[in-house]
Amino acid sequence: MSPEVGNRPLILLLDDTRDFKDGRANYVARTSADAIALLDSLSGQLLDELWLDYDLTGDDTAQPVVQHLVNLAAIGNRQPVGVVWVHSSNIRHGHRITAELVAAGYPARRSYAANLFIRAGSAGHSEATR
């Protein structure tokens, strides 16, 4: 996966069921494993925005992604990121992972802007997955 996005901001969305209405994400991961693989492929590159949904399909969550980022920070190899937006409707875990990321030095914030999203695969939406 070679990130060739030109002058567009580099944006990664982790969400199992949603896409951005405006198609802004360069990369979309539906599982935590896919998100970690994408982060590894982007290692050292500035990720302008990282969007995290907590509850994913089945037993999967964003927790492995958060732990991956925290581990990178702990060894002095923090993923450069402009802002991490946690857009999960799971209030308790959303606040918790935001706090974990902030404690590791990431600029993490909660987002409550549900109007940014549509169901993945909705008619009229171009797939942003790379």
Supply the CATH number for residue 113's domain: 3.40.50
- Alpha carbons 118 and 90: distance in angstroms, whole number: 18
| pLDDT given for residue 7 in this prediction | 75
Closest CA to 25 of 118, 123, 124: 118
Instruction: Kindly state whether residue 124 falls inside one of the protein's structural domains.
Output: no
Rg, C-alpha atoms of the chain:
14
Tell if the pTM clears 0.75, that is, is over it: yes
Q: How many domains does the chain have?
A: 1
Asked if the structure places residue 130 within a domain, the reply is: no
User: Domain for residue 23, yes or no?
Assistant: yes
pLDDT digits (tens, 9 = 90+) for 83-104: 999 998 899 999 999 999 999 9
pLDDT at 94: 95
Is the residue at 42 inside a domain?
Answer: yes
Q: What is the pLDDT of residue 115?
A: 76
* Domain extent at residue 41: 11-119
Residue 61 lies in a domain: yes
Contact 96, 110 (CB under 8 A): no
Who wins on pLDDT, 84 or 127? 84
For residue 57, being part of any structural domain is answered with: yes
Higher pLDDT among residues 56 and 1, named by residue: 56
Residue 3 counted as domain residue: no
End-to-end CA separation in angstroms for the chain: 7
Q: CA–CA separation, 57 vs 103, rounded Å?
A: 27
| Structural domain includes residue 80 | yes
pLDDT of 8 reads: 82
pLDDT mean across residues, the chain: 88
